[in-house]
């Protein structure tokens, strides 16, 4: 099978994993080379092989070429592998197939009605804090929101606190904390992880228990805006609106019926603003 041959080389496998993490929006060859710390001509050769194997799709945008993973090829590859390994013993591969094709809700433990969502940023002082507050209110009863940072600032940005309090949010529980807290055995089982800054998206994350679904929802950093207090406050307002729009789309996804492959595509598209929201039907 061409796909197996294409993924048998270590560098190509790493490139393919990077593209899967990037989502359907894809990456430029130069961006892939930088993230891989590899020569661009070497990366281009590997991308050509992945494209011929049907694992990667090339899309031209002006003079640039975007490379994105072919999710249908991933699905076909998994089915091919499971059919081969499970002949006569379906119990071996059933969990793998279920993990790809069943709705997320069917894999939740009995009595577990909440989806735990973790928002990650570098400092965990602004964007991830805003996202945690928004989802805690918007998803009450269905979602439990958390936030953390790879290098936490140690305190929440005062402009974030001011904005949330102006919008009648409770802020006493909000704090800047390290993402390692959520990789511990006693931490809540996380179902979704969303990175909201580009730095956190490119960093090596801890090993998260339970293999949560991830996506990148990058938002410009309001804490990096220079100028008057009024200009800084406007930047926080804008970040809040972007996060609120994405979170509203997320909470309306039909988690009770959508399979994991489709769900991954939709949460990636939310971050790329590629498609209208799906309506949730209780």
Domains detected in the chain? 2-69 (1.10.10.10), 72-101 (no CATH), 106-272 (3.40.50.2300)
Which pLDDT belongs to residue 282?
39
What pLDDT, on the 0 to 100 scale, is given for residue 278?
44
Which position among 85, 86, 93, 197 bears the catalytic label? 197
Q: Can you tell me the distance from the alpha carbon of 25 to that of 11, in angstroms, rounded to the nearest whole number?
A: 21
Kindly report the number of other CB atoms within 10 A of residue 49's CB atom. Answer: 17
Question: Rounded to two decimals, what is the model's pTM?
Answer: 0.62
φ, ψ for residue 13 (rounded to 5)? -65, -40
- Identify the pLDDT of residue 279: 45
Which entry of 85, 86, 93, 121 is annotated as an active-site residue? 121
pLDDT value, residue 148: 95
Active site residue 121: yes
**How high is the pLDDT of residue 90?**
45
Q: Is 205 a catalytic residue?
A: yes
Residues in the chain: 282
To which residue do tokens 């990636």 refer?
268
Using only C-alpha atoms, what is the Rg of the chain?
20
- What gap in Å lies between CA 157 and CA 144, rounded to an integer? 22
Report pLDDT for 77: 65
Give the pLDDT of residue 73: 67
The pLDDT of residue 277? 45
Q: How far is Cα 72 from Cα 53, in angstroms, rounded to an integer?
A: 12
Q: What confidence score (pLDDT) does residue 11 get?
A: 85
Structure tokens at 219: 């938002």
Burial group, residue 121, by CB count within 10 angstroms (0-12, 13-18, 19+) = buried
Query: Taken in order 231, 232, 238, 240, is the CA torsion positive or negative?
Result: negative
Q: 197 an active-site residue? A: yes
> Over its length of 282 residues, how does the chain's per-residue pLDDT go in tens digits?
567 777 778 888 888 888 877 666 778 888 888 888 888 888 888 998 888 888 888 888 777 788 888 766 666 666 555 555 554 444 445 454 445 445 555 555 544 568 999 999 999 999 999 999 999 999 888 999 999 998 999 999 999 999 999 999 999 999 999 998 988 878 888 999 999 987 766 656 666 666 688 899 999 999 999 999 999 999 999 999 999 999 999 999 988 788 777 888 899 999 887 444 444 433
Residue 281 has φ and ψ, to the nearest 5°, of: -115, 105
């Amino acid at each position: 099978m061409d796909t197996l041959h294409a993924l048998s080389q270590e560098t190509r496998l790493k490139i393919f994993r990077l593209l899967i993490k990037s989502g359907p929006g894809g990456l430029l060859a130069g961006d892939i080379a930088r993230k891989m710390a590899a020569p661009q001509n070497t990366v281009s050769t590997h991308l050509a092989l992945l494209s011929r194997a049907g694992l990667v799709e090339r899309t031209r945008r002006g003079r640039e070429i975007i490379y994105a993973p072919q999710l249908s090829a991933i699905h076909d590859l998994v089915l091919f592998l499971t059919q081969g390994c499970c002949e006569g013993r379906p119990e071996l591969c059933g969990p793998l197939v279920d993990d790809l094709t069943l709705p997320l809700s069917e894999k939740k433990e009995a009595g577990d009605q909440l989806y735990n969502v973790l928002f990650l940023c570098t400092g965990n002082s602004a964007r991830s804090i805003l996202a945690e507050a928004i989802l805690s209110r918007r998803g009450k009863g269905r979602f439990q929101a958390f936030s953390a940072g790879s290098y936490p600032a140690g305190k929440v940005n005062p402009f974030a606190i001011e904005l949330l309090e102006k919008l009648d949010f409770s802020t006493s529980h909000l704090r800047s904390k390290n993402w390692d807290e959520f990789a511990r055995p006693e931490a809540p089982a996380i179902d979704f992880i969303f990175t909201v800054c580009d730095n956190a998206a490119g960093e090596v994350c801890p090993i998260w228990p339970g293999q949560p679904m991830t996506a990148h929802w990058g938002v410009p950093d309001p804490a990096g805006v220079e100028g008057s207090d009024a200009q800084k406050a406007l930047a926080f307002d804008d970040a809040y609106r972007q996060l609120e729009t994405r979170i509203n789309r997320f909470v309306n996804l039909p988690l009770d019926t959508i399979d994991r492959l489709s769900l991954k595509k939709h949460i990636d598209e939310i971050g790329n603003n590629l498609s209208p929201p799906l309506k949730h039907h209780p």
